[in-house]
Chains A and B, each alone.
Chain A
Amino acid sequence: MYKLVKCATSAVLLIAVFATVNANAQNMSTRYPGIGRDATPAEVEAWDIDVRPDFKGLPKGSGSTLVGQQIWESKCAVCHGTFGESNEIFTPIIGGTTIDDIKTGRVASLSDRKQPQRTTIMKVATVSSLWDYIYRAMPWNAPRSLSVDDTYAVVAYLLSMAEVVPDDYVLSNTNIAEVQKRMPNRNGMTLKHGLWNSKGKPDVNGSTCMTNCIAFVQIGSELPDYARNAHGNIAEQNRQYGPFRGSDSTKPPLAKLPGSSGEGLAHASETHSVAKGPAAMFKNENCSACHAMSTKLVGPSIADISAKYQGQSGAVDKLMAKVKNGGSGVWGPIPMPPQSQLSEEDRKTLVVWVLSGGK
């Protein structure tokens, strides 16, 4: 009897083990065995962070406009402006919508053209898009650093600036659907077009006319003379041999054809080489992600740094240390991250160049 019981237990155990294996086997492909594995619930939760317009995927939480304002001023305003109005680094977020738009769900300035630049709040129809993007990708230089509640707070603050919610609002997963009903451009999107599917019907179709198609050919638009060199010297953007050279846009157009030998044009032997030196390093090492030559981006401009340290002894060493170890937020709330990847020599080259105003 004892033996029997023991046998029965083993059988149960065996069945249990077999059942587990079998469950795995069910999940495994018969077509491509051995490839891929099931994701664990924790893995799906870690990566599946998208929020749809019907709020599927929106985590529970809440945040007030007041907290949102604090986060905004410390982490967002440097790029987007205190009121989300800045056009310095990115296009403005707030502006161009009215109380009337909130009623109609159509932003009037999109059709009356009174607003010179389209802001985010003018365009966005779905509040989920704001929540999803801020949570997944902001701030610019530290994506995924906002908590769920931080994100509610920042969205609440943005919406309060556009008067979609009151100044003292607390946005949460339970009231966000109500807020959606007040989005200024919620009725501003259309799917009536032929570009969502390759079988869609085109809205415009050209003509196959082959002869005498236009009575009078008129040039409606061309580049003004002052823009001739706005994209740099075109001669240096083309082969300097062969039949199709670039025209020297630093000079006025040629008076006559150069002739088949290319007289007066630059030649292959003068082909310009790939840029080197501190200006190229400034770009390649990603300094230009936060600094520009003369305008303030996330960090100060080269011109401003050069002016601040003008004539100061020890400025080179001081800045070299800052570049290596990172800044402390002297110029604004976002400190510069350490650039320890640079060699001593490269750091010096860069710093000397910055202090010279980028010359």
Chain B
Amino acid sequence: MTKKQIELSAEDISAVEKPANRARLVKAPEHFISQDLIADINSNGLDETRRGFLRKGFFSALGGAAAGLTAPMAFAAGEGDPAILEKQVWQTTLGKNVATMPYGTPSIYEANLIRRESPGLTRVSAASVAFTPLQGLFGIITPNGLHFERQHQGWYNIDPEMHRLMVNGLVKHNRVFTMNDLMRLPSVSRIHFIECGANTGLEWGNVAVPTVQYTHGMLSCCEFTGVPLKVLLDECGADLKKGKFMLAEGGDGSGMTRTVNLDDVLNDAIVAWGMNGEMLRPENGFPLRLVVPGVQGVSWVKWLRRLEVGDMPYATKDEAVHYNDLMPDGLARQYTSIQECKSVITTPSGGQQLLDKGFYNISGMAWSGRGKIKRVDISFDGGNNWRTARLETPVLTKSVTRFNIDWVWDGSPAILQSRAVDDTGYVQPTIKMLRDVRGTRSIYHNNAIQSWKVASNGEVSNVQVG
């Protein structure tokens, strides 16, 4: 038991006792307490009226602590599992009040699954990436607190009453909309994936990072709510015959700008404020962001403040210096935007440890910027033989699709791969196929088949085949 846990469990107990202090997070295992803790609390000068209650709480929890420590271990034959045979604290005492956590947070036992930075990837955290822990997620929806982050010049909590959206350029009327205006318009809610163009970019040359959080964690999938872009552009009298392009501009310090290919996305794009049923999170663009299904995340401009309809692309910094794919001949492919069909097994995945031989449900995610997932095949032998996985519903266009497949592991080394096919007939390629055409220096748009090696000790690691 570490000191940190002791301090946190004291917090936990005080949260139970003092509902007024509701905003406090409950972060550590409950009822893990000791004599040290009592001394600690006493020396920290808790007030007299509370001390008696707290002490009582500590003593009554002691038995639970002992059981908790031994619970996962083997038990003596003939008796049974202490988790069943012994009365647990949560069965024999009064639980917490409703709204103890007015905005709910995950169980304290989920504290390991958080967004993380890749050490050494960037040197300033205001222009960096925090990756989604895909290794712990189920289904297709990314919880809002775990949506990946890519900031270019830091993020702000923008006052929604001060936020404006301007539409100008090749439009009959330059218009300004407030959030009051926008949220009155007819809205749609659609589930789409968002993937950074540089997702898996570290792996073009060789294996570089250990887990799926770092290989594929610039991927999230949410239900977005907002007004269809076309409604807004029509409202402003956009000349969509001449205006084949649109500049989207953000309200952050970087004034993030990206050209959107209206020819392609006009009917799909959403000017969104909602994300999984609540407002966008500030780090994801509160109160307004552009949703451009199938297109790389950088074009989903956050804190969206301006849309300009134009007749040519804008070659903004993130279209002229970054987000271009360098080919072996030294030419850079400019305006590469579409996220091609891709998949990855998330459990088991790199850095994980299987417990034993036997049955496993192998699970992962597949998505395509060109449409729907049609099929996902799984190989357990490094790509030599394949079996088709089950696709779970819903299977939506430009969204993540969850796949599952049964596997009985016999304990011998294996290499797991997934290969997705979309409804255009496109098949996810191997890293070798990609390198043969694009070399190893493109950084962006690596949608290669991912390989996870399972060693006979149960440890899973990131490898590349071929």
Contact = CB atoms under 8 A, between A and B. Distances in A.
Contacts of A219: 382, 415, 451, 453, 463-465
Contacts of A208: 377, 421, 427
A48 B118 CA distance: 36
A36 interface: yes
Interface string B441-463: 00001000101010111111111
B397 to A, nearest CB: 10
Interface in B326-348: 326-338, 340, 347-348
Nearest to B431: A220
A190 B294 CA distance: 21
A39 B370 contact: no
A123 B323 CA distance: 11
Interface string B203-241: 000111111011000000000000000000011000000
Count chain A CB atoms within 10 A of each CB in B112, B173, B466 and give the residue with the most.
B112
A330 interface: no
Given A137-B253, A212-B385, A262-B72, A238 B109 contact: no
B139 to A, nearest CB: 16
B206 A221 contact: yes
A237 B175 contact: no
Nearest to A240: B112
A188 B312 CA distance: 18
Interface stretch (B16-24, B48-56, B119-127, B188-196): B119-127
Interface stretch (B35-43, B85-93, B283-291, B313-321): B313-321
Interface string B141-179: 000000000000110000000000010100001111100
Nearest to A125: B320
The secondary-structure label for the interface of chain B is loop
Interface residues of A, number: 124
Given A52-B314, A243-B355, A261 B74 contact: yes
B10 to A, nearest CB: 12
A37 B316 contact: no
Contacts of B261: 196-197
Contact of A204 (B213, B294, B429): B429
A232 interface: yes
Given A188-B332, A193-B336, A220-B464, A236 B315 contact: no
Interface residues of B, number: 146
Given A209-B386, A237-B112, A253-B459, A123 B207 contact: no
B466 A190 contact: no
B324 A189 contact: yes
Contacts of A283: 125
A136 B124 contact: no
Count chain B CB atoms within 10 A of each CB in A107, A194, A195, A249 and give the residue with the most.
A195
Nearest to A89: B123
A271 B265 CA distance: 44
Nearest to B68: A269
A238 B351 contact: yes
B36 to A, nearest CB: 17
Contacts of B59: none
A52 B246 CA distance: 12
B464 A198 contact: no
Contacts of A48: 166, 168, 306, 308
Nearest to A260: B356
A206 B176 contact: no
A243 B294 CA distance: 33
10 contacts: A31-B235, A195-B336, A198-B369, A204-B437, A217-B384, A217-B465, A222-B207, A257-B354, A258-B353, A297-B124
3 closest A-B pairs by beta carbon, nearest first, are A111-B330, A206-B427, A217-B382
Given A52-B314, A273-B4, A273-B5, 18 more contacts: A47-B306, A50-B308, A123-B332, A137-B254, A189-B333, A191-B334, A213-B384, A223-B207, A223-B461, A238-B352, A243-B347, A245-B353, A257-B456, A261-B73, A271-B111, A273-B111, A295-B123, A297-B123
